[in-house]
Structure 1
Amino acid sequence: MSLSKLHKPAAFQRPDGYTWDTPPAAFSEWTERPMAAEADDQNTISIYGVIGEDFWTGEGFTAKRMAGALRSIGAKAVTVNVNSPGGDMFEGLAIYNLLREHKAEVTVKVMGIAASAASIIAMAGDKVLMGTGSMLMIHNAWGMVIGNRHDFADAADVFKTFDSSMASIYAERTDIKVDNILSMLDGPTRSSDGTYMTAAEAIEKGFADDTFEPDDSAAQASATVPADLIARRRTEAALAKAGMGRKERFDTLNSLSGPRDATRPAARDAGELTVAQQAAIVAGLTNLGQSASTFIRP
C-alpha cells in the first residue's frame, strides 16, 4: 500500500463543550498490560499513553508531539510503537494525517492494545504488526458535550460524520464494506463497546498484516513505571467502570492523594495513598462497578 493512496478524511470542527474520554473497557484492558519499553532507535516513535491531554502525565500524546518527532526524523522510514486505550478523536485523526503524509515508509507495531483513537492512528501504517497477545479495538466516536439542545444536535451530526470517516479509513485497509464496518463500530449492543480483535482476528480481517515477537525489554518495562502511577491508573479504570466521568475521576483521586506537585507534572506529593491502599480501592470499586452493571443491564 502506498502512503499517497491512504484515505484523506475531511476536517472536523470540534463541537463547543466537547470533552473526550476513553471507553472504560479499553482503559481497563490497557491498565492491566505492562507498559512497553522505550526503543533505542532514533527513528522509532512510542505512543504509550492516552491520545490527547492526560491529567496524570501532562500533555499525553498529541499531534504536536507527533509533528515534532517526524520533523526530527525527516524523510526516513519510521516505526510507531503503540500501546494506548485511545482518547481524543480529533487528536487521533490529526496524528493519522501526519503519518499519512510522511514521505517514507511507516511501520506500526501494536505492543499491547490499540483502541479507539489509537486504532485510527495504527491504520496510517504501510505495515501494521501485532505483538503476541495484543489487541485492536474499534468503536463509534465517543465523548461528552455540555450545552443546549442545539449544541447536542450539532455534536450528533459531527459524531455521525466522524463515524463515517473512520469507517472509510478501516474499509480502505481491510476491503470490508463500509456498512459492515459501521456494524463493527456499533458492536454487539450498539453501545460504546465496539469490536475487540485479537492479533489473529485483526490479521484475518485485514486490519493488520502480520505478528511480531516483542523483545525482552518490553516484558521488563513495567518495572520502570512508578508503582503509584500503575495503582492510580487501575483505580481510575475501576471508577470508569462504575460510570464516573474523566474529570470527576481525576478530581476524586486528586482529593484522595493530595494536590499535584507543581515541580513534577507526572508525580504526586509524599502525602498520597500507598500502593496497598489504592489497590484496596480498586478492589472495592471493581465490585461496585460489577454491582452497578448488574443493576443497570437487564
Structure 2
Amino acid sequence: MAEVSWFDDDITPKLFKDELMSENGNITVWINSPGGDCVAAAQIYNMLKDYEGEVTIKVDGIAASAGSVIAMAGDKVVMSPVAMMMIHNPSTQAFGEKVDLEKAIAMLDEVKESIINAYEIKTGQSRTKISHMMDAETWMDAYAAKDLGFIDEIIGDIDENVPVGQNTFSEAVVNNSLMSAIAKKCRIEVPEPKKQEVNNTIAADSLMSRLNLMKNWRN
C-alpha cells in the first residue's frame, strides 16, 4: 500500500475509499500484504473503523508490517492456518545534519507509539510487551496470533489444542541463536589422532631386494 500507486497491485487510500464507499452493509476485507506506507495504512485503518457496517478481516496469506495494522481495524479478524502475521518497528530514510537525524528519530518514536495504539486496542496486550515484539520483528502463525489477541478466529479452526508457545518467530532471537551455535561449533576441539607405534626395523630379505633393484637400475 502506498500514498500514490506506482504499480497495478498498489492500494492507495483513495482507491480503497472509493471501493469502500461503493458498498453498504457488512463487508469482508481480505488481506495478503507485505506492508507499505504506515501513513497510508493509518488512513485505511481509520476508514474501516469508521465504516457503519460490520467489518470482517480475513488474512489468507500474509499481514506484515503496515498490513498487520490494517488488520487490527476488523470487528472480527480471522486468519488462515497457513497464513503469517508480522509486526516490527517503523523505518525511514534520513539525511542531513545531526538535528535532521534527531528529528527523524523522534518522528519514528511517535509513529511507533501510534502503531502500538492499534495493536493495544485489538489485543489488550501491554504497550511494553508489544514494543518488545516490534523490536524483535515478531512473526506469528495463526495460533500464536489468536493466543496473543491479534486475531479472533482461525479459518477452519483445525485444532484448538495446538501449542502456541513455539509458534512465534523472532528474527533477532533466531539470529542470536544461530551466531551462538556457530561460535560453539568453532570452539569444538578436534581430538588428536591416536599415535601409532613406528616400526623402524626392515626385514633383511626386503632390504636385499631393494638393493638389488637399485643395482640393476644403475647397470
Common fold by TM > 0.5: yes
Match of 2:22, SS? helix
Contact 1:84–1:118 (CA under 8 A) maintained in structure 2: yes
Please list the CA deviations of residues 34-78 of structure 1 after superposition, one character each: whole Å capped at 9, or x if unmatched. Answer: xxxxxxxxxxxxxxxx445464x247111111111111113x111
TM-superposed deviation, 1:151: 2.5
Any idea what the Cα deviations from partners look like across 1:194-252, whole Å, max 9, x if unmatched? 10000000001100011115xxxxxxxxxxxxxxxxxxxxxxxxxxxxxxxxxxxxxxx
1:110 matched to 2:110:
no
Which residue matches 2:11? 61
Partner of 1:127: 76
Q: Deviation string for 1:6-32 (max 9, x for gaps)? A: xxxxxxxxxxxxxxxxxxxxxxxxxxx
**Separation of aligned partners in 2, 1:124 and 1:98:** 9
Unaligned stretches of 5+ in structure 1?
1-49, 188-193, 214-293
TM-score (normalizing by structure 2): 0.68
Gaps of 5+ in 2: 157-178, 184-219
Deviation digits for residues 61-100 of structure 1, max 9, x if unmatched? 11111111111113x1111100010011111111111111
Larger Rg computed on CA atoms? 2
Give the Cα–Cα distance (whole angstroms) in 1 for the partners of residues 106 and 19 of structure 2: 33
Q: 2:5, 2:12 within 8 Å by CA — same for their partners in 1?
A: no
Report whether the alignment pairs 1:78 with 2:27.
Answer: yes
Aligned length: 160
Hey, what does 1:208 align to over in structure 2?
Answer: 151
Q: Which residue number in structure 2 is paired with residue 161 of structure 1?
A: 110
Matches within 5 A, 1:3-152: 50-53=1-4, 55=6, 57-58=7-8, 60-74=10-24, 76-152=25-101
Return the TM-score normalized by structure 1: 0.50
Residue 189 of structure 2: aligned partner: none
Corresponding position of 1:186: 135
**Quick one: higher RCO (CA 8 Å, sep 6+), 1 or 2?**
1
Instruction: State the Cα RMSD in Å.
Output: 2.2
Distance in 1 (CA, whole Å) between partners of 2:9 and 2:33 is 14
| Partners of 2:65 and 2:86 within 8 A in 1 | yes
CA contact (8 A) 1:109 1:128 kept: yes
Shift of residue 149 of structure 1?
A: 2.7
- Matched AA of 1:145: A
Deviation at 1:169, TM superposition (A): 1.5
Given that residues 81 and 141 in structure 2 are in contact (C-alpha distance below 8 angstroms), is that contact kept between their aligned partners in structure 1? no
Residue pair 2:48, 2:55 contacting (<8 A) in 1 also: yes
Question: Which stretch shows the higher mean deviation, 85-94 or 167-176?
Answer: 167-176
Q: Look up the match of 1:236.
A: none
**Partner residue in 1 for 2:139:** 196
**Identity percentage over the alignment?**
37
Q: Deviations over 1:257-282 (max 9, x none)?
A: xxxxxxxxxxxxxxxxxxxxxxxxxx
**Partner secondary structure for residue 145 of structure 1:** coil
